[in-house]
Structure 1
Protein backbone atom coordinates (compact mmCIF):
# COMPACT_ATOMS: atom_id res chain seq x y z
CA UNK A 1 0.00 0.00 0.00
CA UNK A 2 2.83 2.40 0.85
CA UNK A 3 4.15 2.16 -2.70
CA UNK A 4 0.89 3.63 -3.98
CA UNK A 5 0.79 6.58 -1.58
CA UNK A 6 2.92 8.91 -3.79
CA UNK A 7 0.72 8.13 -6.77
CA UNK A 8 -2.49 8.70 -4.82
CA UNK A 9 -1.06 11.93 -3.41
CA UNK A 10 -0.25 13.10 -6.95
CA UNK A 11 -3.78 12.27 -8.06
CA UNK A 12 -5.19 14.25 -5.14
CA UNK A 13 -3.04 17.22 -6.15
CA UNK A 14 -4.23 16.95 -9.75
CA UNK A 15 -7.83 16.88 -8.52
CA UNK A 16 -7.22 20.03 -6.53
CA UNK A 17 -5.72 21.80 -9.54
CA UNK A 18 -8.61 20.67 -11.73
CA UNK A 19 -11.09 22.10 -9.24
CA UNK A 20 -9.10 25.33 -9.20
CA UNK A 21 -9.41 25.51 -12.97
CA UNK A 22 -13.19 25.46 -12.69
CA UNK A 23 -12.99 28.56 -10.51
CA UNK A 24 -10.51 30.41 -12.74
CA UNK A 25 -11.78 31.54 -16.17
CA UNK A 26 -9.67 30.53 -19.12
CA UNK A 27 -8.47 33.17 -21.53
CA UNK A 28 -11.15 32.18 -24.02
CA UNK A 29 -13.80 32.77 -21.36
CA UNK A 30 -12.58 36.21 -20.31
CA UNK A 31 -15.35 38.73 -19.96
CA UNK A 32 -15.38 42.20 -21.37
CA UNK A 33 -15.39 43.65 -17.89
CA UNK A 34 -16.17 47.21 -16.83
CA UNK A 35 -15.61 50.03 -17.49
CA UNK A 36 -18.75 50.31 -19.54
CA UNK A 37 -18.76 52.74 -22.43
CA UNK A 38 -21.16 55.69 -22.24
CA UNK A 39 -24.69 55.06 -23.40
CA UNK A 40 -24.23 57.39 -26.37
CA UNK A 41 -21.41 55.18 -27.68
CA UNK A 42 -22.22 51.70 -28.92
CA UNK A 43 -19.91 48.98 -30.22
CA UNK A 44 -20.69 45.64 -31.82
CA UNK A 45 -17.88 43.68 -30.20
CA UNK A 46 -15.90 43.60 -27.00
CA UNK A 47 -12.90 41.62 -25.82
CA UNK A 48 -10.74 41.49 -22.71
CA UNK A 49 -7.13 41.84 -23.80
CA UNK A 50 -4.47 39.48 -22.54
CA UNK A 51 -2.47 41.88 -20.35
CA UNK A 52 -2.74 44.96 -18.14
CA UNK A 53 -6.43 44.36 -17.47
CA UNK A 54 -7.21 46.21 -20.70
CA UNK A 55 -10.47 46.08 -22.62
CA UNK A 56 -11.24 46.79 -26.27
CA UNK A 57 -14.72 47.61 -27.57
CA UNK A 58 -14.81 47.80 -31.34
CA UNK A 59 -17.00 47.93 -34.42
CA UNK A 60 -15.64 47.08 -37.85
CA UNK A 61 -17.32 48.27 -41.04
CA UNK A 62 -16.21 46.00 -43.87
CA UNK A 63 -17.65 48.30 -46.51
CA UNK A 64 -15.31 51.20 -45.86
CA UNK A 65 -12.73 49.33 -43.75
CA UNK A 66 -13.19 51.58 -40.74
CA UNK A 67 -12.64 50.43 -37.18
CA UNK A 68 -14.19 52.37 -34.29
CA UNK A 69 -12.65 51.53 -30.92
CA UNK A 70 -12.89 52.31 -27.24
CA UNK A 71 -9.75 51.10 -25.49
CA UNK A 72 -9.74 51.14 -21.69
CA UNK A 73 -6.95 50.50 -19.18
CA UNK A 74 -5.86 51.71 -15.77
CA UNK A 75 -2.69 53.84 -15.72
CA UNK A 76 -0.09 53.04 -13.03
CA UNK A 77 -1.10 56.25 -11.22
CA UNK A 78 -3.79 58.93 -11.66
CA UNK A 79 -1.25 61.07 -13.52
CA UNK A 80 -0.03 58.22 -15.74
CA UNK A 81 -0.49 57.64 -19.44
CA UNK A 82 -2.39 55.01 -21.44
CA UNK A 83 -1.77 54.15 -25.09
CA UNK A 84 -3.35 52.14 -27.89
CA UNK A 85 -2.23 51.92 -31.50
CA UNK A 86 -1.82 49.96 -34.70
CA UNK A 87 1.26 48.41 -36.22
CA UNK A 88 0.68 47.77 -39.92
CA UNK A 89 3.94 45.91 -40.44
CA UNK A 90 4.73 43.57 -37.58
CA UNK A 91 3.66 42.26 -34.18
CA UNK A 92 5.68 44.58 -31.99
CA UNK A 93 6.01 48.02 -30.44
CA UNK A 94 8.50 49.61 -32.85
CA UNK A 95 6.62 50.91 -35.86
CA UNK A 96 3.37 51.36 -33.95
CA UNK A 97 1.32 54.50 -34.55
CA UNK A 98 -0.35 55.11 -31.22
CA UNK A 99 -2.78 57.38 -29.46
CA UNK A 100 -1.46 58.28 -26.01
CA UNK A 101 -3.77 59.75 -23.39
CA UNK A 102 -2.67 61.48 -20.19
CA UNK A 103 -3.92 64.21 -17.82
CA UNK A 104 -3.18 67.76 -18.92
CA UNK A 105 -4.56 70.97 -17.39
CA UNK A 106 -7.43 69.23 -15.53
CA UNK A 107 -8.45 67.40 -18.72
CA UNK A 108 -7.34 64.26 -20.55
CA UNK A 109 -5.19 64.90 -23.59
CA UNK A 110 -5.18 62.39 -26.47
CA UNK A 111 -2.38 62.84 -29.01
CA UNK A 112 -0.90 60.88 -31.89
CA UNK A 113 2.64 59.48 -31.71
CA UNK A 114 4.92 57.36 -33.88
CA UNK A 115 6.98 54.86 -31.91
CA UNK A 116 10.16 54.83 -33.95
CA UNK A 117 12.35 53.00 -31.44
CA UNK A 118 12.25 51.55 -27.95
CA UNK A 119 13.34 54.92 -26.55
CA UNK A 120 11.83 57.40 -28.95
CA UNK A 121 8.35 58.88 -29.33
CA UNK A 122 7.57 61.33 -32.10
CA UNK A 123 4.40 63.43 -31.82
CA UNK A 124 2.67 63.67 -35.19
CA UNK A 125 -0.34 65.49 -36.55
CA UNK A 126 -1.53 62.49 -38.53
CA UNK A 127 -0.88 58.78 -38.93
CA UNK A 128 0.06 57.03 -42.15
CA UNK A 129 -3.55 55.80 -42.14
CA UNK A 130 -6.69 57.86 -41.67
CA UNK A 131 -7.88 58.50 -38.12
CA UNK A 132 -10.54 60.76 -36.63
CA UNK A 133 -12.82 61.29 -33.63
CA UNK A 134 -9.82 60.87 -31.32
CA UNK A 135 -10.57 61.65 -27.67
CA UNK A 136 -10.07 60.28 -24.17
CA UNK A 137 -11.61 60.38 -20.71
CA UNK A 138 -10.65 59.26 -17.22
CA UNK A 139 -13.12 57.92 -14.66
CA UNK A 140 -12.96 55.54 -11.70
CA UNK A 141 -9.22 55.02 -12.14
CA UNK A 142 -9.53 53.98 -15.80
CA UNK A 143 -8.58 55.91 -18.93
CA UNK A 144 -10.57 55.23 -22.10
CA UNK A 145 -9.34 56.17 -25.58
CA UNK A 146 -11.88 56.63 -28.38
CA UNK A 147 -10.93 56.69 -32.04
CA UNK A 148 -11.94 55.64 -35.52
CA UNK A 149 -9.30 54.45 -37.96
CA UNK A 150 -9.33 53.27 -41.54
CA UNK A 151 -7.23 50.20 -42.26
CA UNK A 152 -5.30 50.56 -45.55
CA UNK A 153 -6.39 48.12 -48.23
CA UNK A 154 -2.92 46.68 -48.73
CA UNK A 155 -2.01 46.44 -45.06
CA UNK A 156 -0.65 43.08 -43.95
CA UNK A 157 0.10 41.60 -40.53
CA UNK A 158 -1.92 44.27 -38.76
CA UNK A 159 -1.55 44.14 -34.99
CA UNK A 160 -2.57 46.39 -32.15
CA UNK A 161 -0.41 47.42 -29.22
CA UNK A 162 -1.42 48.86 -25.87
CA UNK A 163 0.57 50.15 -22.92
CA UNK A 164 0.52 52.15 -19.68
CA UNK A 165 3.23 54.21 -18.04
CA UNK A 166 4.08 57.12 -15.74
CA UNK A 167 4.16 60.85 -16.34
CA UNK A 168 6.76 62.92 -14.49
CA UNK A 169 7.14 66.67 -14.72
CA UNK A 170 4.63 66.78 -17.54
CA UNK A 171 6.70 64.35 -19.65
CA UNK A 172 5.92 60.80 -20.66
CA UNK A 173 8.25 58.27 -19.04
CA UNK A 174 9.12 54.75 -20.14
CA UNK A 175 6.69 52.00 -19.22
CA UNK A 176 7.48 49.10 -16.90
CA UNK A 177 9.38 46.01 -17.99
CA UNK A 178 7.14 43.41 -16.38
CA UNK A 179 5.89 40.55 -18.61
CA UNK A 180 2.47 42.23 -18.76
CA UNK A 181 4.05 45.34 -20.24
CA UNK A 182 6.32 43.48 -22.65
CA UNK A 183 3.54 41.22 -23.95
CA UNK A 184 0.88 43.87 -24.51
CA UNK A 185 0.34 43.20 -28.20
CA UNK A 186 -1.89 40.95 -30.27
CA UNK A 187 -3.06 40.50 -33.84
CA UNK A 188 -5.89 42.93 -34.46
CA UNK A 189 -9.29 41.21 -34.12
CA UNK A 190 -9.88 42.05 -37.78
CA UNK A 191 -8.45 39.68 -40.38
CA UNK A 192 -6.92 41.53 -43.29
CA UNK A 193 -6.29 39.96 -46.68
CA UNK A 194 -3.53 42.12 -48.12
CA UNK A 195 -3.70 40.53 -51.57
CA UNK A 196 -7.34 41.38 -52.16
CA UNK A 197 -7.80 44.15 -49.65
CA UNK A 198 -10.69 42.38 -47.95
CA UNK A 199 -11.14 42.29 -44.21
CA UNK A 200 -13.57 40.70 -41.79
CA UNK A 201 -14.07 40.96 -38.07
CA UNK A 202 -13.22 37.87 -36.07
CA UNK A 203 -15.66 36.23 -33.70
CA UNK A 204 -15.84 38.58 -30.72
CA UNK A 205 -16.53 38.16 -27.05
CA UNK A 206 -20.14 39.05 -26.12
CA UNK A 207 -20.64 42.80 -26.40
CA UNK A 208 -22.84 42.82 -23.31
CA UNK A 209 -19.86 41.92 -21.15
CA UNK A 210 -21.30 38.58 -20.11
CA UNK A 211 -19.36 35.35 -20.32
CA UNK A 212 -19.87 33.09 -23.26
CA UNK A 213 -22.29 30.53 -21.86
CA UNK A 214 -21.36 27.93 -24.44
CA UNK A 215 -17.65 28.33 -23.80
CA UNK A 216 -18.11 28.13 -20.04
CA UNK A 217 -20.33 25.05 -20.37
CA UNK A 218 -17.82 23.20 -22.53
CA UNK A 219 -14.98 24.13 -20.18
CA UNK A 220 -16.99 22.98 -17.14
CA UNK A 221 -18.02 19.68 -18.75
CA UNK A 222 -14.45 18.87 -19.76
CA UNK A 223 -13.14 19.54 -16.25
CA UNK A 224 -15.94 17.48 -14.66
CA UNK A 225 -15.19 14.57 -17.00
CA UNK A 226 -11.50 14.86 -16.15
CA UNK A 227 -12.22 14.84 -12.41
CA UNK A 228 -14.55 11.82 -12.69
CA UNK A 229 -11.89 9.92 -14.62
CA UNK A 230 -9.32 10.70 -11.94
CA UNK A 231 -11.68 9.59 -9.17
CA UNK A 232 -12.28 6.30 -10.98
CA UNK A 233 -8.54 5.80 -11.42
CA UNK A 234 -7.91 6.62 -7.77
CA UNK A 235 -10.61 4.20 -6.60
CA UNK A 236 -9.27 1.47 -8.88
CA UNK A 237 -5.70 1.87 -7.66
CA UNK A 238 -6.91 2.00 -4.06
CA UNK A 239 -8.90 -1.22 -4.47
CA UNK A 240 -5.99 -2.88 -6.22
CA UNK A 241 -3.64 -1.86 -3.41
CA UNK A 242 -6.03 -3.21 -0.76
CA UNK A 243 -6.39 -6.48 -2.66
CA UNK A 244 -2.62 -6.83 -2.90
CA UNK A 245 -2.25 -6.12 0.82
CA UNK A 246 -4.90 -8.69 1.70
CA UNK A 247 -3.26 -11.23 -0.58
CA UNK A 248 0.11 -10.59 1.03
CA UNK A 249 -1.54 -11.03 4.43
CA UNK A 250 -2.95 -14.40 3.42
CA UNK A 251 0.43 -15.47 2.09
CA UNK A 252 2.04 -14.52 5.38
CA UNK A 253 -0.49 -16.63 7.30
CA UNK A 254 0.05 -19.56 4.94
CA UNK A 255 3.81 -19.24 5.37
CA UNK A 256 3.43 -19.22 9.13
CA UNK A 257 1.27 -22.34 9.07
CA UNK A 258 3.70 -24.00 6.71
CA UNK A 259 6.63 -23.23 9.00
CA UNK A 260 4.64 -24.52 11.98
CA UNK A 261 3.91 -27.78 10.18
CA UNK A 262 7.56 -28.17 9.26
CA UNK A 263 8.60 -27.54 12.87
CA UNK A 264 6.16 -30.15 14.13
CA UNK A 265 7.41 -32.66 11.55
CA UNK A 266 11.04 -32.05 12.51
CA UNK A 267 10.15 -32.36 16.20
CA UNK A 268 8.41 -35.66 15.55
CA UNK A 269 11.43 -36.99 13.68
CA UNK A 270 13.67 -36.02 16.61
CA UNK A 271 11.49 -38.05 18.97
CA UNK A 272 11.69 -41.04 16.64
CA UNK A 273 15.46 -40.82 16.68
Structure 2
Protein backbone atom coordinates (compact mmCIF):
# COMPACT_ATOMS: atom_id res chain seq x y z
CA UNK A 1 0.00 0.00 0.00
CA UNK A 2 1.36 3.40 -0.96
CA UNK A 3 2.03 6.07 1.62
CA UNK A 4 -0.22 8.48 -0.33
CA UNK A 5 -3.24 6.21 0.21
CA UNK A 6 -2.65 6.44 3.97
CA UNK A 7 -2.05 10.17 3.89
CA UNK A 8 -5.45 11.29 2.55
CA UNK A 9 -7.86 9.51 4.97
CA UNK A 10 -5.57 10.20 7.93
CA UNK A 11 -4.87 13.83 7.09
CA UNK A 12 -8.38 15.05 6.43
CA UNK A 13 -10.00 14.40 9.87
CA UNK A 14 -6.89 15.54 11.75
CA UNK A 15 -6.59 18.66 9.59
CA UNK A 16 -10.26 19.51 10.21
CA UNK A 17 -9.72 19.01 13.94
CA UNK A 18 -6.71 21.29 13.78
CA UNK A 19 -8.70 24.03 12.04
CA UNK A 20 -11.43 23.70 14.67
CA UNK A 21 -8.93 24.19 17.48
CA UNK A 22 -7.21 27.14 15.81
CA UNK A 23 -10.45 28.95 14.93
CA UNK A 24 -11.39 31.60 17.53
CA UNK A 25 -14.55 31.13 19.56
CA UNK A 26 -17.40 33.64 19.37
CA UNK A 27 -19.52 34.65 22.35
CA UNK A 28 -23.28 34.91 22.04
CA UNK A 29 -24.86 38.34 21.81
CA UNK A 30 -28.21 40.00 21.11
CA UNK A 31 -28.06 39.58 17.34
CA UNK A 32 -30.58 36.71 17.35
CA UNK A 33 -33.17 38.68 19.32
CA UNK A 34 -34.56 41.12 16.80
CA UNK A 35 -37.15 43.71 17.68
CA UNK A 36 -39.92 43.91 15.10
CA UNK A 37 -39.30 47.59 14.41
CA UNK A 38 -35.55 47.51 14.97
CA UNK A 39 -35.52 51.25 15.62
CA UNK A 40 -33.82 51.22 19.02
CA UNK A 41 -30.64 49.70 20.38
CA UNK A 42 -30.14 48.24 23.86
CA UNK A 43 -27.10 47.08 25.80
CA UNK A 44 -28.56 43.78 27.01
CA UNK A 45 -31.16 41.26 25.98
CA UNK A 46 -32.55 38.02 27.32
CA UNK A 47 -35.06 35.31 26.52
CA UNK A 48 -37.55 35.31 29.38
CA UNK A 49 -38.36 31.76 30.50
CA UNK A 50 -42.12 31.81 29.77
CA UNK A 51 -44.74 33.13 27.33
CA UNK A 52 -42.28 33.32 24.40
CA UNK A 53 -41.17 36.73 25.67
CA UNK A 54 -37.92 38.66 25.35
CA UNK A 55 -36.59 41.73 27.10
CA UNK A 56 -34.07 44.22 25.76
CA UNK A 57 -32.82 46.77 28.27
CA UNK A 58 -30.23 49.42 29.04
CA UNK A 59 -29.47 50.49 32.61
CA UNK A 60 -28.01 53.96 33.11
CA UNK A 61 -26.42 54.17 36.57
CA UNK A 62 -25.60 57.87 36.22
CA UNK A 63 -29.26 58.91 36.36
CA UNK A 64 -30.75 55.67 37.80
CA UNK A 65 -32.92 54.96 34.77
CA UNK A 66 -33.85 51.82 32.89
CA UNK A 67 -34.95 51.70 29.25
CA UNK A 68 -36.74 48.54 28.12
CA UNK A 69 -38.29 46.90 25.09
CA UNK A 70 -40.53 43.99 26.08
CA UNK A 71 -41.71 41.69 23.30
CA UNK A 72 -44.29 38.89 23.43
CA UNK A 73 -47.27 37.55 21.49
CA UNK A 74 -50.65 38.36 23.10
CA UNK A 75 -52.73 35.41 24.25
CA UNK A 76 -55.21 36.02 21.42
CA UNK A 77 -55.63 38.39 18.51
CA UNK A 78 -56.67 41.71 19.98
CA UNK A 79 -55.06 40.83 23.29
CA UNK A 80 -52.53 42.65 25.44
CA UNK A 81 -48.98 42.31 26.77
CA UNK A 82 -47.56 43.73 29.98
CA UNK A 83 -44.23 44.15 31.74
CA UNK A 84 -43.99 45.27 35.35
CA UNK A 85 -41.69 45.99 38.27
CA UNK A 86 -42.70 44.94 41.78
CA UNK A 87 -40.94 47.22 44.29
CA UNK A 88 -42.05 45.27 47.38
CA UNK A 89 -42.52 41.59 46.46
CA UNK A 90 -41.73 38.94 43.87
CA UNK A 91 -45.22 38.25 42.50
CA UNK A 92 -47.93 40.07 40.60
CA UNK A 93 -49.67 41.67 43.59
CA UNK A 94 -48.09 45.06 44.23
CA UNK A 95 -46.50 45.31 40.79
CA UNK A 96 -46.36 48.51 38.77
CA UNK A 97 -47.25 47.56 35.21
CA UNK A 98 -46.87 48.91 31.70
CA UNK A 99 -49.59 47.38 29.53
CA UNK A 100 -49.83 47.62 25.73
CA UNK A 101 -52.78 46.85 23.48
CA UNK A 102 -54.44 48.02 20.28
CA UNK A 103 -57.11 50.69 20.70
CA UNK A 104 -59.14 51.80 17.65
CA UNK A 105 -56.43 50.51 15.35
CA UNK A 106 -53.50 52.17 17.16
CA UNK A 107 -51.14 50.72 19.75
CA UNK A 108 -51.28 52.39 23.17
CA UNK A 109 -49.47 51.93 26.49
CA UNK A 110 -51.18 52.47 29.84
CA UNK A 111 -49.95 52.20 33.40
CA UNK A 112 -51.61 50.03 36.06
CA UNK A 113 -51.08 49.81 39.79
CA UNK A 114 -51.88 46.19 40.58
CA UNK A 115 -52.62 46.26 44.29
CA UNK A 116 -54.04 42.71 44.27
CA UNK A 117 -54.92 39.89 41.88
CA UNK A 118 -58.52 41.07 41.81
CA UNK A 119 -57.79 44.79 41.49
CA UNK A 120 -56.17 46.15 38.33
CA UNK A 121 -56.46 49.93 38.47
CA UNK A 122 -55.24 52.26 35.76
CA UNK A 123 -53.27 55.12 37.27
CA UNK A 124 -49.93 56.67 38.07
CA UNK A 125 -47.16 54.35 39.15
CA UNK A 126 -44.98 54.64 42.24
CA UNK A 127 -42.02 55.67 40.04
CA UNK A 128 -41.65 57.97 37.06
CA UNK A 129 -42.03 56.55 33.54
CA UNK A 130 -41.59 58.20 30.15
CA UNK A 131 -41.16 57.51 26.42
CA UNK A 132 -43.99 54.96 26.48
CA UNK A 133 -44.97 53.53 23.11
CA UNK A 134 -45.80 50.21 21.50
CA UNK A 135 -46.01 48.54 18.12
CA UNK A 136 -47.39 45.36 16.60
CA UNK A 137 -45.01 43.27 14.50
CA UNK A 138 -45.74 41.17 11.45
CA UNK A 139 -44.66 38.08 13.42
CA UNK A 140 -47.68 38.35 15.71
CA UNK A 141 -45.72 39.81 18.60
CA UNK A 142 -46.19 43.18 20.24
CA UNK A 143 -43.32 45.33 21.50
CA UNK A 144 -43.68 47.64 24.49
CA UNK A 145 -41.10 50.42 24.87
CA UNK A 146 -40.53 52.60 27.91
CA UNK A 147 -38.13 54.15 30.38
CA UNK A 148 -38.47 54.24 34.15
CA UNK A 149 -36.75 55.61 37.20
CA UNK A 150 -35.19 53.06 39.56
CA UNK A 151 -33.74 53.45 43.02
CA UNK A 152 -30.21 54.79 43.20
CA UNK A 153 -27.54 52.10 43.36
CA UNK A 154 -30.10 49.42 42.50
CA UNK A 155 -28.48 46.15 41.46
CA UNK A 156 -31.58 44.15 40.56
CA UNK A 157 -35.36 44.44 40.17
CA UNK A 158 -38.28 42.08 40.66
CA UNK A 159 -39.87 41.84 37.24
CA UNK A 160 -43.22 40.43 36.15
CA UNK A 161 -44.50 39.92 32.61
CA UNK A 162 -47.85 38.75 31.30
CA UNK A 163 -50.10 38.40 28.26
CA UNK A 164 -53.87 38.53 28.06
CA UNK A 165 -56.73 37.68 25.69
CA UNK A 166 -58.33 41.05 25.05
CA UNK A 167 -59.78 44.37 26.17
CA UNK A 168 -63.39 44.79 27.38
CA UNK A 169 -64.89 48.25 27.92
CA UNK A 170 -61.42 49.74 27.93
CA UNK A 171 -60.13 47.37 30.62
CA UNK A 172 -57.74 44.43 30.18
CA UNK A 173 -59.39 41.04 30.50
CA UNK A 174 -57.94 38.56 32.98
CA UNK A 175 -55.07 36.43 31.80
CA UNK A 176 -54.99 32.65 32.02
CA UNK A 177 -53.68 30.96 35.15
CA UNK A 178 -51.71 28.25 33.41
CA UNK A 179 -48.23 27.25 34.52
CA UNK A 180 -46.57 29.63 32.05
CA UNK A 181 -48.65 32.56 33.25
CA UNK A 182 -48.04 31.84 36.93
CA UNK A 183 -44.32 31.39 36.29
CA UNK A 184 -43.78 34.71 34.54
CA UNK A 185 -41.81 36.34 37.37
CA UNK A 186 -38.11 36.70 38.08
CA UNK A 187 -35.19 38.95 38.89
CA UNK A 188 -33.70 41.40 36.44
CA UNK A 189 -30.03 41.84 37.23
CA UNK A 190 -28.97 45.39 36.46
CA UNK A 191 -25.36 45.19 37.66
CA UNK A 192 -23.12 42.13 37.49
CA UNK A 193 -21.37 41.34 40.75
CA UNK A 194 -17.69 40.38 40.87
CA UNK A 195 -16.67 37.58 43.22
CA UNK A 196 -14.73 38.81 46.30
CA UNK A 197 -11.60 36.84 45.33
CA UNK A 198 -11.51 38.26 41.82
CA UNK A 199 -9.67 41.47 40.86
CA UNK A 200 -11.63 44.24 39.22
CA UNK A 201 -10.04 44.94 35.84
CA UNK A 202 -11.94 46.74 33.16
CA UNK A 203 -14.18 44.38 31.12
CA UNK A 204 -12.33 45.22 27.92
CA UNK A 205 -8.92 44.22 29.34
CA UNK A 206 -10.27 41.05 30.95
CA UNK A 207 -11.96 39.91 27.77
CA UNK A 208 -8.94 40.73 25.62
CA UNK A 209 -6.55 38.80 27.87
CA UNK A 210 -8.78 35.75 28.13
CA UNK A 211 -9.29 35.69 24.37
CA UNK A 212 -5.53 35.97 23.73
CA UNK A 213 -4.75 33.11 26.11
CA UNK A 214 -7.36 30.92 24.45
CA UNK A 215 -6.00 31.63 20.98
CA UNK A 216 -2.41 30.87 22.09
CA UNK A 217 -3.52 27.55 23.60
CA UNK A 218 -5.42 26.65 20.45
CA UNK A 219 -2.45 27.49 18.24
CA UNK A 220 -0.10 25.37 20.37
CA UNK A 221 -2.43 22.37 20.12
CA UNK A 222 -2.83 22.98 16.39
CA UNK A 223 0.91 23.01 15.75
CA UNK A 224 1.31 19.83 17.84
CA UNK A 225 -1.24 18.02 15.69
CA UNK A 226 0.41 19.24 12.47
CA UNK A 227 3.72 17.90 13.76
CA UNK A 228 2.11 14.56 14.52
CA UNK A 229 0.67 14.40 11.00
CA UNK A 230 4.11 15.08 9.51
CA UNK A 231 5.65 12.33 11.62
CA UNK A 232 3.03 9.72 10.66
CA UNK A 233 3.10 10.51 6.92
CA UNK A 234 6.76 11.05 6.19
CA UNK A 235 8.60 8.93 8.76
TM range (shorter): 0.5 to 0.7
Does residue 75 of structure 2 align to residue 85 of structure 1?
Answer: no
Unaligned runs of 5+ in 1: 1-28, 191-200, 204-273
Give the match for residue 150 of structure 1. Answer: 149
- With over 3 angstroms needed to count, the CA separation of the structure-2 counterparts of 1:106 and 1:138, relative to structure 1, is same
Show the counterpart of 1:174. Answer: 174
Once the 2 structures are TM-superposed, how far is the Cα of residue 129 of structure 1 from its aligned partner?
1.0
Give 2:159's aligned residue: 160
Note the C-alpha offset of 1:45: 0.5
Aligned to 2:116: 117
Distance (Å, rounded) in 2 between the aligned partners of 1:142 and 1:110: 15
TM-score of the pair, normalised by structure 2: 0.64
The RMSD of aligned alpha carbons is 2.3
CA–CA distance in structure 2, aligned partners of residues 121 and 131 of structure 1: 18
Shift of 1:30: 11
Q: Alpha carbons of 1:44 and 1:138: their partners in 2 closer, same or farther (altered >3 Å)?
A: same
Distance in 1 between residues matched to 2:168 and 2:111, nearest whole Å: 20
Residues 183 and 42 of structure 1, relative CA distance in 2, 3 Å threshold: same
Q: 1:100–1:113: 8 Å Cα contact kept in structure 2?
A: yes
CA distance in structure 2 between the partners assigned to 1:97 and 1:90 by the alignment:
11
> How big is the shift at 1:155?
6.6
Q: 1:172 to 1:39 in 2, by over 3 A?
A: closer
Cα deviation digits, residues 152-204 of structure 1 (max 9, x gap): 238797301000011154431111111100010111222xxxxxxxxxx339x
Q: Is the 8 A contact 2:107 2:135 kept in 1?
A: yes
Deviation at 1:60, TM superposition (A): 0.6
Distance (whole Å) between structure 1 residues aligned to residue 104 and residue 44 of structure 2: 33
3-state SS in 2 of match to 1:63: coil
**CA offsets, 1:185-243, max 9 Å, x none?**
111222xxxxxxxxxx339xxxxxxxxxxxxxxxxxxxxxxxxxxxxxxxxxxxxxxxx
Distance 2:156 2:105 in 1: 38
In structure 1, the residue matched to 2:196 is none
Instruction: Report the number of matched residues.
Output: 164
Q: Secondary structure, in 3 states, of the residue corresponding to 2:147?
A: strand
| Alpha-carbon contact 1:89-1:156 (below 8 Å) kept | no
SS of 1:36's equivalent in the other structure is coil
CA contact (8 A) 2:35 2:143 kept: no
Q: How does 1:31-70 map to 2 (within 5 A)?
A: 33-36=32-35, 38-70=37-69
CA distance in 2, matches of 1:131, 1:182: 26
Could you tell me which residue of structure 1 aligns to residue 215 of structure 2?
none
TM-score for both structures, normalised by structure 1: 0.56
Structure-2 change in CA distance of 1:157 and 1:67 (3 Å):
closer
